[in-house]
Amino acid sequence: MSFSLKLDSVLKELPDLEIRGSTDKSIITGISSLSNAKEGDLTFLANPKYKNEVKDTEASYVLLPMDHAESSRKQNQLYIKTQHPSRALARICRIIYAELFSAQRVGIDTTASVHDSAIIGDNVSIGPFCYVGKGARIGKNTLIESHCHIGEMASIGSDCRLYPNVKLLSLCEVGNGVHLNSGVVIGSEGYGFEQVGSVHEKIPHLGKVVIEDDVEIGANSCIDRARLEETRIGEGTKIDNLVQIGHNVKIGRGCLIVAQVGIAGSVEFEDGVVVGGQAGFAGHLKVGKGAKIAGQTGITKNVEAGAFLKGNPAIPVQLAHRISVLQRKLPDLFKRIAQDKDKK
Amino acid sequence: MSFSLKLDSVLKELPDLEIRGSTDKSIITGISSLSNAKEGDLTFLANPKYKNEVKDTEASYVLLPMDHAESSRKQNQLYIKTQHPSRALARICRIIYAELFSAQRVGIDTTASVHDSAIIGDNVSIGPFCYVGKGARIGKNTLIESHCHIGEMASIGSDCRLYPNVKLLSLCEVGNGVHLNSGVVIGSEGYGFEQVGSVHEKIPHLGKVVIEDDVEIGANSCIDRARLEETRIGEGTKIDNLVQIGHNVKIGRGCLIVAQVGIAGSVEFEDGVVVGGQAGFAGHLKVGKGAKIAGQTGITKNVEAGAFLKGNPAIPVQLAHRISVLQRKLPDLFKRIAQDKDKK
Amino acid sequence: MSFSLKLDSVLKELPDLEIRGSTDKSIITGISSLSNAKEGDLTFLANPKYKNEVKDTEASYVLLPMDHAESSRKQNQLYIKTQHPSRALARICRIIYAELFSAQRVGIDTTASVHDSAIIGDNVSIGPFCYVGKGARIGKNTLIESHCHIGEMASIGSDCRLYPNVKLLSLCEVGNGVHLNSGVVIGSEGYGFEQVGSVHEKIPHLGKVVIEDDVEIGANSCIDRARLEETRIGEGTKIDNLVQIGHNVKIGRGCLIVAQVGIAGSVEFEDGVVVGGQAGFAGHLKVGKGAKIAGQTGITKNVEAGAFLKGNPAIPVQLAHRISVLQRKLPDLFKRIAQDKDKK
């Protein structure tokens, strides 16, 4: 990654800094870890275990926690102290990202196919080979990269980013500030059939999907449309790659759903639920506020608010760990019991 | 979802109705649940637990089971009684769906790239940015949405629907009435390598995939082509999202395969097998007719017809439940044994 | 699959053959299993359990191990003996594949959109509706099929194949001889957020992905870009379908990663690691050289070189099997203990 960012413009976005050392440089040209950084780079100490690497880094700018005692021994090296180096770093990354992001704006690419009736906001960018259907709406500042499909009557808010090859199918609604990664499918047919004899008759799905503001959805994840009404993803929820969300599911606000999780139809999450990778949920369950589900867990019953479950069947994580330890003692236990029997 | 459907045209498709109440309305303008329905909507009682909501629904038309005793208390509200309300509803949804479906027909979009040698049936619709390769064949009434790829010598039957971004690779064959959701890949390379020293040499896959009639495949699912001959999905089988089916697999008729299931190479399913989400199958296994596999189960041996298995290693579901209960008693058991030992 | 390959041209690519029988044929027109092969086909005995089928095959050419004692009883049928029939078969398949492959070359399709600044090697093929961004580089002989996206400043080596709908996002780098199946996403946003109060603030990902030579990646798999530096897949590693690889992961050389595996951020694999389907890895772990991980295993701690683990929590596979056997005896054990207690 190479870029050129004025040091001043970065520092003014960060609150309450203490600057130590001096430099005749004024440009940041890269970001890297302590050990890989070179002249011109900004680096950071986010995890105390790398503290010893600070003194040897070649970076020109070093983000440090306030309580970092040492001073820079190098010429042309700044120590920049802040309460939260990792939070400051995230902010700097957002500045860089916004620059790269704005560079990618192309307006409406000549190869895109946009229906006359679609309503396109100011400063929208629509990439090569995109299709925007009848009656679709796209809010201001939204960036849509190549090969996206915006179906009939679908809508997208402002300040969204759709990476290449997102499929937002007809009638589905996306809020503001939403990021959809490549290959995301929103509004696929739900998995619902009516068994008539040995035949599984298709139940067409006439509902939609609603994605609220500030949601992020990872690459190749799928969200099925509701049978009749809506599947809904709550504000600020972050979904990783290759996640499956079934028809009629309701996900609350601020949930974290890690890669390859599967959530069957009509499940409801309250706010702040956190789900580890590859966990699965059977249909029609309720998961209470702030519940945590460990990776690979299989949930087949309602989950209470604040619970932390693991395993299949899912049990409290403490009990699961205790049982795991004891299972490893089973060979010994059975041996001992066999011996006791012999003695008798 | 908003539409306009003549009540008469719907009622005549449903057998053996009993109509109670009267109305001066003749148009259905929406479908919704009992509690959400509003004037003009059709609603339904499919699950007895919502029976109490029937009397308060604002819907204009209410699908009810034959044995529903009460009469409508509202003016302009019809009770429509039938043996199977959910089956009737599915049928109504199909009528609506067919209308919306027909609305999406565009013929061959001007942006599509169709090889001169391709054979295209009557009333076929090919969406924006689709590619149809040399010698491909597409049967009548089939609807292909944007960004699809129909490879060289591939074929699709009649009355199929391909959602945006389906990839049907060269030589693969799809029957009649098949639905392929967005992002489906049919005919990807199988995962097969020949180890020569420490190098895994690629085995090119020269076979194909055959999808029989009335199959449905969910978003972003993948079906690998056979090494030499064919991978086959049997008639009427329904596959959910993000499912992986390996090379040379044979799936029987009328199987149900829920989201994120993985089936390794050369596995064979007989008819009517049902597999819960995230279950996995090791290669070269046979699964007997009507077997049921619980979600997240790991199958590493052949499965007998009619079996119902769970866990990894997979065991009969009853035994699995029994063991789960006893595992939770292990802490207690080990404590008791320790006490017994102390006593001696 | 139908093709036409000169027998001589095939035989000369295979070392140390013994030919038995005679034929007036000189063309191979198909490859099939012993029982399905017909006149003109080549077949093979790779697995001794099919030995009895050799004498009845209708194939014109039969690949056999050196120690196969019987001679052909048919006219116009050749027995071709070699040390490694399956390796010879793989080689023949590669010859056929190369022929079909070369047939698909189209140069740069007229519908493709290639930025003026992109550097395209000799004999490169770019399919319909592909987008190649600013500053991208594509090496000689590489074949890119329809609907691919090659992002800004991304690079691809020589002799690669990208199947339809691969998304190689900006800055990412692919080596030589790499195969990327349909729907692969390289360079999606990593799953990283900074919690500020109850809000998960996005951490933009500014790093890249590097894919080394001779890697193969299966359909709809996703590899996230690094936060700042690189996610890396080592030379000769083979990744199956629907696999998730998180940000900053480093995979060694010659690893095998089967379908639906999930690897969380910053995990590091040494060379030759083998991972069964649907296994999952928590973040920031190290997995030693040649370790084997069974399907559906959940790894939450570092793994030593050469280990073979199974289960969640993961334990040595031998112990896991022993415990599985004993678990099935738990009902019996608890019954016995209850009886003992009654006796006292």
Q: What is the pLDDT of residue A21?
A: 87
- How far apart (Å, rounded) are the C-alpha atoms in residues B36 and B64? 17
Using CB atoms, list chains with 3+ pairs below 8 Å to chain A.
B, C
Q: What is the pLDDT of residue A203?
A: 85
In chain B, what residues touch C241 (CB-CB under 8 Å)?
185, 188, 191, 222, 224, 244
ipTM above 0.90, yes or no: yes
The answer to whether A211 and A175 are in contact (CB under 8 A) is yes
The answer to whether A215 and A157 are in contact (CB under 8 A) is no
Q: Inter-chain contact A331–C326, Cβ cutoff 8 Å?
A: yes
Cβ neighbours for A110, distance < 8 A, ≥ 6 positions apart: none
In chain A, what residues touch B218 (CB-CB under 8 Å)?
188-189, 191, 222
In chain B, what residues touch A168 (CB-CB under 8 Å)?
none
DSSP state of B66: T
Q: What number is the average pLDDT over the span B164-175?
A: 97
The pTM is what? Answer: 0.93
| Residue numbers of C annotated as active site | 247
**The two three-digit tokens of residue A13, written as one number:** 């976005």
Q: What is the pLDDT of residue A101?
A: 58
- What is the homologous superfamily of the domain A113-321 according to CATH? Hexapeptide repeat proteins (2.160.10.10)
- Chain B residue closest in CA terms to C321: B313
Q: Inter-chain contact A188–B219, Cβ cutoff 8 Å?
A: yes
Q: Which chain B residues in 99-138 lie under 8 Å from chain C, judged by CB atoms? A: 113, 129, 131
Q: Inter-chain contact C164–B169, Cβ cutoff 8 Å?
A: yes
- Highest mean pLDDT of the ranges B2-11, C184-193, C195-204: C184-193
What is the tens place of the pLDDT at every residue in A44-72? 998 888 899 999 999 999 999 999 988 87
In chain C, what residues touch A145 (CB-CB under 8 Å)?
149
Q: What number is the average pLDDT over the span A97-107?
A: 69
Estimate to the nearest angstrom the gap between the alpha carbon of A302 and the chain centroid: 25
Q: Inter-chain contact A193–B295, Cβ cutoff 8 Å?
A: no
What is the tens place of the pLDDT at every residue in B299-318? 999 999 999 999 999 999 99
The answer to whether C183 and C220 are in contact (CB under 8 A) is yes
In chain B, what residues touch C179 (CB-CB under 8 Å)?
189, 202
Interface test with B, best of A114, A195, A244, A296 (most B CBs within 10 A): A244
Q: Inter-chain contact A260–C264, Cβ cutoff 8 Å?
A: no
DSSP state of C190: P
Does C260 lie at the interface with B, CB-CB under 8 angstroms?
A: yes
Average pLDDT, chain A: 92
Residue in the block written with tokens 């065991």: B315
- How far apart (Å, rounded) are the C-alpha atoms in residues B126 and A185? 20
Write the secondary structure of C251-271 as one string of H (helix), E (strand) and C (coil): ECCCCEECCCCEECCCCEECC
3-state secondary structure of A49: helix
The answer to whether B191 and B244 are in contact (CB under 8 A) is no
- Indicate if the pLDDT at residue C103 is higher than 60: no
Q: Inter-chain contact B202–C129, Cβ cutoff 8 Å?
A: no
- Indicate if the pLDDT at residue A75 is higher than 90: no
Residue C9: exposure state from Cβ atoms within 10 A (0-12, 13-18, ≥19): exposed
Q: Which chain B residues in 220-259 lie under 8 Å from chain C, judged by CB atoms? A: 220, 222, 224, 227-229, 242, 244, 246
What is the tens place of the pLDDT at every residue in C50-98? 899 999 999 999 999 999 988 877 888 999 999 888 888 888 888 887 7
Q: Which chain C residues in 11-30 lie under 8 Å from chain B, judged by CB atoms? A: none
For C87, which of B196, B260, B312 is closest by C-beta distance? B196
3-state secondary structure of C98: helix
In chain C, what residues touch B207 (CB-CB under 8 Å)?
1
What is the tens place of the pLDDT at every residue in C300-322? 999 999 999 999 999 999 999 99
Q: Inter-chain contact C256–B200, Cβ cutoff 8 Å?
A: yes
**The two three-digit tokens of residue B13, written as one number:** 């498709």
* C342–chain B nearest CA distance, Å: 15
Fold of the domain built from segment(s) C5-103? 3.40.1390
Using CB atoms, list chains with 3+ pairs below 8 Å to chain C.
A, B
Interface test with C, best of B167, B205, B241, B281 (most C CBs within 10 A): B167
* C187–chain B nearest CA distance, Å: 18
Q: Which chain A residues in 161-190 lie under 8 Å from chain B, judged by CB atoms? A: 165, 167, 169, 171, 183, 185, 188-189
* B302–chain A nearest CA distance, Å: 22
- Indicate if the pLDDT at residue A270 is higher than 80: yes
Q: What is the pLDDT of residue A337?
A: 82
- Indicate if the pLDDT at residue B1 is higher than 70: no
In chain B, what residues touch A165 (CB-CB under 8 Å)?
147, 165
Q: Inter-chain contact C228–A278, Cβ cutoff 8 Å?
A: no
3-state secondary structure of B4: coil
Work out the pLDDT band at A202, boundaries 50, 70, 90: confident
- Chain A residue closest in CA terms to C222: A219
3-state secondary structure of A23: coil
What is the tens place of the pLDDT at every residue in C227-261? 999 999 999 999 999 999 999 999 999 999 999 99
- Indicate if the pLDDT at residue A103 is higher than 70: no
Same fold across A5-103 and A113-321: no
Does A98 lie at the interface with B, CB-CB under 8 angstroms?
A: no
| Residue numbers of A annotated as active site | 247
Q: What is the pLDDT of residue A93?
A: 86
- Chain A residue closest in CA terms to C278: A278
Backbone angles phi, psi at B49, to 5 degrees: -70, -15
Q: What is the pLDDT of residue A94?
A: 85
Interface test with A, best of B10, B97, B278, B333 (most A CBs within 10 A): B278
Question: Percent of chain A having pLDDT more than 90?
Answer: 71
- Indicate if the pLDDT at residue A20 is higher than 60: yes
* C292–chain B nearest CA distance, Å: 15
Domain locations along chain A: 5-103, 113-321
Interface test with B, best of C10, C33, C92, C146 (most B CBs within 10 A): C146
Does A199 lie at the interface with B, CB-CB under 8 angstroms?
A: yes
Residue in the block written with tokens 């017809």: B305
Preceding amide of C313 cis, omega within 30: yes
- Indicate if the pLDDT at residue A333 is higher than 80: yes
Does C315 lie at the interface with A, CB-CB under 8 angstroms?
A: yes
H/E run at residue B321: helix B317-327
What is the tens place of the pLDDT at every residue in B202-232? 888 889 999 999 999 999 999 999 998 999 9
Average pLDDT, chain C: 92
Interface test with A, best of C117, C131, C242 (most A CBs within 10 A): C131
In chain C, what residues touch A216 (CB-CB under 8 Å)?
189, 202
* A198–chain C nearest CA distance, Å: 31
Does A147 lie at the interface with C, CB-CB under 8 angstroms?
A: yes
Cβ neighbours for B88, distance < 8 A, ≥ 6 positions apart: B14, B44, B63, B80, B82
User: Nearest-CA neighbor of B244 among B230, B229, B260?
Assistant: B260
What is the tens place of the pLDDT at every residue in C122-138? 999 999 999 999 999 99
For B179, which of A169, A189, A220 is closest by C-beta distance? A189
- How far apart (Å, rounded) are the C-alpha atoms in residues A108 and A123? 10
Beta-carbon count within 10 A of B41 CB: 21
Q: What number is the average pLDDT over the span C8-37?
A: 88
For A244, which of B32, B100, B260 is closest by C-beta distance? B260
* B197–chain A nearest CA distance, Å: 34
Please say if B247 is a catalytic residue: yes
* C198–chain B nearest CA distance, Å: 31
Interface test with C, best of A271, A292, A319, A330 (most C CBs within 10 A): A330
* C344–chain B nearest CA distance, Å: 12
In chain B, what residues touch A228 (CB-CB under 8 Å)?
1, 31-33, 93
Q: What is the pLDDT of residue C1?
A: 57
- How far apart (Å, rounded) are the C-alpha atoms in residues B41 and B239? 31
